[in-house]
């Protein structure tokens, strides 16, 4: 049984990961960063999802017991009409202390007048896993879709109630959590992680 600590202070992400580990039936005891005193402050200055995930993993690894694994996630939304924004700045798009609602409001404002055919976007997730014996692995997932002109649904978090995954007519904020767990960028990165853990 591996003991794994999630390098996130985001309660929604922790819940989503815990749910995915349970559904996958992986032999892991999953804990949040709260179990080691909380996620340390990390200056996410790498400019990439991969680099930011690694910064967070390394920061928590310094606090984690030596026999534990650490899993860090960095993810965000990239809109083609905005040159890839908000991208790595997704969580702070409207400012360092911005709420999810403020970030969504800024995104809708930035996309004002952009026709539906050009509102294509994707969620990206990078996972970095660090093990107790210097193991390192990285996994990536993407989810293509588009951004609506108004919010729909009250589920999910972040930009979920603006994002309609490709092939669907409802946002992540409207779709059941079980459906999101199959389609999302985080779910796809997690699937690769799960395969790796079963062989490790």
Tell me the catalytic residues. Answer: 74
Contact call for residues 56 and 138 (beta carbons, < 8 A): no
Residue 92, both tokens: 């702070």
List residues bridging with 123 in a β-sheet. Answer: 77, 143
What is the C-alpha to C-alpha distance for residues 70 and 63, in angstroms, rounded to an integer?
10
């Amino acid at each position: 049984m591996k003991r794994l600590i999630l390098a996130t202070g985001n309660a929604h992400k922790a819940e989503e990961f815990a749910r995915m580990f349970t559904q996958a039936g992986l032999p892991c005891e999953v804990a949040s960063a709260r179990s080691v005193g909380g996620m340390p402050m990390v200056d996410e200055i790498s400019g990439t999802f991969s680099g930011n995930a690694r910064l967070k993993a390394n920061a928590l690894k310094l606090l984690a017991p030596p026999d534990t694994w650490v899993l860090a996630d960095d993810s965000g939304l990239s809109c083609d009409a905005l040159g890839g924004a908000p991208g790595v700045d997704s969580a702070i798009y409207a400012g360092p202390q911005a709420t999810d609602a403020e970030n969504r409001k800024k995104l809708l404002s930035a996309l004002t007048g952009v026709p539906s055919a050009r509102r294509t976007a994707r969620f990206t997730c990078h996972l970095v896993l660090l093990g107790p014996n210097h193991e390192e692995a990285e996994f990536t997932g993407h989810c293509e879709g588009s951004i609506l002109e108004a919010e729909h649904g009250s589920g999910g978090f972040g930009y979920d109630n603006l994002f309609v995954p490709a092939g669907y007519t409802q946002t992540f904020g409207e779709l059941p959590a079980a459906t999101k767990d199959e389609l999302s960028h985080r779910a796809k990165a997690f699937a690769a992680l799960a395969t790796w853990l079963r062989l490790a």
